[in-house]
Structure 1
Amino acid sequence: MYRKECYVFDQNQPIPAVVRNYEEKDFSELINVQQECFPPPFPSELWWNKEQLHNHVTLFREGALCMEVNGKIAGSMTGLLVQYKPSDPDHTWEEITDNGYIRNHDHNGNTLYVVDISVRPSYRKLGLGKLLMQSMYDVVIHKRLERLLGGGRMPGYHKRADKITAEQYLQEIVEGKSKDPVITFLLRCGRTPVKAAANYLEDQESCNYGALMEWKNPFYINVSHND
């Protein structure tokens, strides 16, 4: 079980918050979070469903996290374990997450893969996304994994796609020449780019690209030597 109590700040006002594993009793509220994060015309069939959420809490409970602010679920983050080879990085979101059902979860995997991170729009100025990401880093360390990995949308890329490649767009953000609402956020969370993956997900704004970004376990070398 994971439980981290902390405070978040609405301007200068501290508000009690908790990051914890989500459970079956939370399913309806987690689906509400998805509805708020991805309103129409986003297809409702792509919101979490109860079968997916059930798999999350039964196949890899450690990777099913939610965040409560003043007792209300304000966001969630989900992951699974995969066996990842840096020499063979190409994949799609649907392939590596089993379309969100995580039936391919590998208990012996070396990498925690991010399936989803969602924060209600009305709570996005409180820094919840970064706290959820840091909490998942805790899981990486606890499980003695090599890394956390995931593909981020590149929603600003469609504005530049006729001038530069996706890799060039990603590099510009890393160099601070431009900003992207998702990629810049992931950089602020400590993630580093691996590559721009073509046909990663269906997303017009990203021109179907995803930025694969990782966080390497800083203790992993010592862990592997001690084993």
Structure 2
Amino acid sequence: MYLSQFYVFDGDKPVPLTIRNYTQEDFDQLVQIQSECFPPPFPSELWWNKEQLNNHVRYFPEGALCIEVNGELAGSLTGLCVNFDPNHMEHTWEDITDEGYIKNHDPNGDTLYIVDISVRPKYRKLGLGKQMMQAMYHVVIQKKLVRLLGGGRMPGYHKVVNTMTPDQYLQGVLAGNLKDPVITFLLRCGRVPIGIIKDYLDDEESCNYAALMEWKNPFIIE
């Protein structure tokens, strides 16, 4: 299981953090965090439910991480293991994550696939998402998996959809000419785009596209 305690800085003030596996005792707070991260008009039925959270800690507890700030639960990051063929990248979020229920978790899979990352808005300036992503890289290494993978929304794409293809938009972000709230964040976490997926998620801002973002285990050479 995972437990890491350290400090980050809020300006010049050290702030104590704990990253650990979440458990049933955390479920109410995890649902509350979802409500803060995805407020109306986002439909509340798409927040985590108790059955999904139970499955996370049942099927793959190593992939169910949360982060505490001064003892308050501030965010979570959830994953499952799958087998991934780089030559056949097309998939949807619903299919590969079993709509967040992860009953398709494969203990013998070669890839840790990110289901969701959520951080309370009031704590986002502390870089907690990046800290949790780094923790999940530790899980990839410990389990000797090939990669961490996940689809990154492109919420800025709808602003330029009439003048740029999804690939052109992604290249604009990589060139530093554009900044995307999600893709830029994932790049800062060390993730690398390996392709664009169409109809990945019903997401108006991204026009249903996503960038498939990878982190390769540096200790495994294919």
Coarse TM-score class (shorter-chain normalised): over 0.9
Deviation of residue 94 (structure 1)?
0.3
Write the deviation string for residues 8-36 of structure 1: whole angstroms up to 9, x where unpaired.
Answer: 21111111110000000000000000000
Match of 2:40, SS state, is coil
Matching of residues 87-106 of structure 1 within 5 Å: 87-106=87-106
Match of 2:26, SS state, is helix
Deviation of residue 220 (structure 1)?
1.0
Match of 2:55, SS state, is helix
Match of 1:124, SS state, is helix
Deviation of residue 194 (structure 1)?
1.0
Number of the residue aligned with 1:54: 54
User: Percent identical across equivalent pairs?
Assistant: 66
- The residue type paired with residue 84 of structure 2 is Y
CA distance in 2, matches of 1:110, 1:174: 27
CA distance in 1, matches of 2:114, 2:11: 29
Number of the residue aligned with 1:63: 63
Number of the residue aligned with 2:200: 200
Deviation of residue 197 (structure 1)?
0.7
Write the deviation string for residues 36-90 of structure 1: whole angstroms up to 9, x where unpaired.
Answer: 0000000000000000000000100000000000000000000000000000010
Using structure 1 for the length normalisation, give the TM-score.
0.97
Number of the residue aligned with 2:26: 26
CA distance in 2, matches of 1:10, 1:47: 29
**Alignment root-mean-square deviation, CA:** 0.7
Which has the larger displacement, 4-13 or 109-118?
4-13
Match of 1:131, SS state, is helix
Deviation of residue 196 (structure 1)?
1.4
Number of the residue aligned with 1:136: 136
Deviation of residue 167 (structure 1)?
0.8
CA distance in 1, matches of 2:119, 2:142: 24
Matching of residues 135-174 of structure 1 within 5 Å: 135-174=135-174
Any runs of at least 4 consecutive aligned residues in structure 1 with deviations exceeding 3 A, and if so which? none
Write the deviation string for residues 85-112 of structure 1: whole angstroms up to 9, x where unpaired.
Answer: 0000100000000000000000000000
- The residue type paired with residue 8 of structure 1 is V
Match of 1:220, SS state, is coil
CA distance in 1, matches of 2:182, 2:171: 14
Match of 2:126, SS state, is coil
- The residue type paired with residue 98 of structure 2 is D
Question: Is 1:114 aligned to residue 77 of structure 2?
Answer: no
Deviation of residue 195 (structure 1)?
1.0
CA distance in 1, matches of 2:69, 2:168: 38
Using structure 2 for the length normalisation, give the TM-score.
0.99
CA distance in 1, matches of 2:107, 2:181: 33
Deviation of residue 176 (structure 1)?
1.0
CA distance in 2, matches of 1:171, 1:114: 23
Q: Which segments of 5 or more consecutive residues in structure 1 lack a partner in the other structure?
A: none
Equivalent residue pairs, number: 222
CA distance in 2, matches of 1:50, 1:10: 33
